[in-house]
Amino acid sequence: MRLNALGRVSMNNPVRACLQRYLMARWFERLGGRVPAGVGLEIGCGRGAALRPLRERFALRRIVGLDLDPVMLGRARRRGPGVPLVLADGLQLPFGDGAFDAVFDFGAIHFVANWESALDEVRRVLRGGGRYYFEWVTGRFLRTFYPLATQGFERMRVPTPDALLAALERRGLAVGDRVLRPRLAAAATWLVGDVIGVGRVTP
């Protein structure tokens, strides 16, 4: 699902970019560790503010940015030349099975009505031992503005935090205790998800 002008501003602004780079990425690293010399994918990369910081913080050899919005990819291209950028839908990732060591999701898949199929795609492109670093918004209050911020908003059955974690486990993405639920920060800022964690591919 694409964001409209309001959504682009709310999800792609300097404050949220700062939170991604210095707060959420730090939480990701603490929960799931670094991926030295690995290949990473950011789903819903927007204007690309997190791509280079992720590559550096997680010691990735390479990172790819993917987004459904050509406007945002154009901004990402101007911001960080040399980083591969792909225009595609998270429900049909144009990559082979096991192509990545890490997938980063700063609140992208939680916009997708068919979110379970999007998680299937994440699992498909992760190789053994790969990690899915995710930020999700599940609270109804936090999602109240979404119909105003997206193009053609689709009503969806939003999972509870426990249902989300169970869906990841069913796909062989073990979360265990690698999860945070920063409800206070989420409610206070509207810019941080209320479920942040890491699922690791299990045999």
Q: Which of 118, 106, 128 is nearest to 173 (CA)?
A: 128
User: Which helix (H) or strand (E) is 118 found in, with range?
Assistant: helix 115-125
Is the pLDDT confidence value at 75 over 90? no
- Give 3's DSSP letter: B
Domain that holds residue 159: 5-201
pLDDT bucket at 12, cuts 50 / 70 / 90: low
Is the pLDDT confidence value at 20 over 70? yes
β pairing state of 100-106 and 85-87: unpaired
Contact 118, 185 (CB under 8 A): no
- Number of domains the chain is built from: 1
Query: Which tokens sit at 7?
Result: 């959504």
What 3-state DSSP class applies to 141?
coil
- Give 84's DSSP letter: -
Residue with tokens 């990545």: 100
β pairing state of 100-106 and 126-136: parallel
Greatest mean pLDDT among 6-15, 48-57, 122-131, 174-183 lies in 122-131
For residue 133, the domain's CATH number is: 3.40.50.150
Confidence at residue 65, expressed as pLDDT on a 0 to 100 scale: 97
Mind listing the pLDDT tens digit for each residue in 134-193? Answer: 999 887 666 666 655 555 555 667 888 999 999 999 999 999 999 998 866 554 555 677
Residue with tokens 């789903």: 43
Instruction: Tell me which amino acid residue 145 is.
Output: F
What does pTM read for this prediction? 0.88
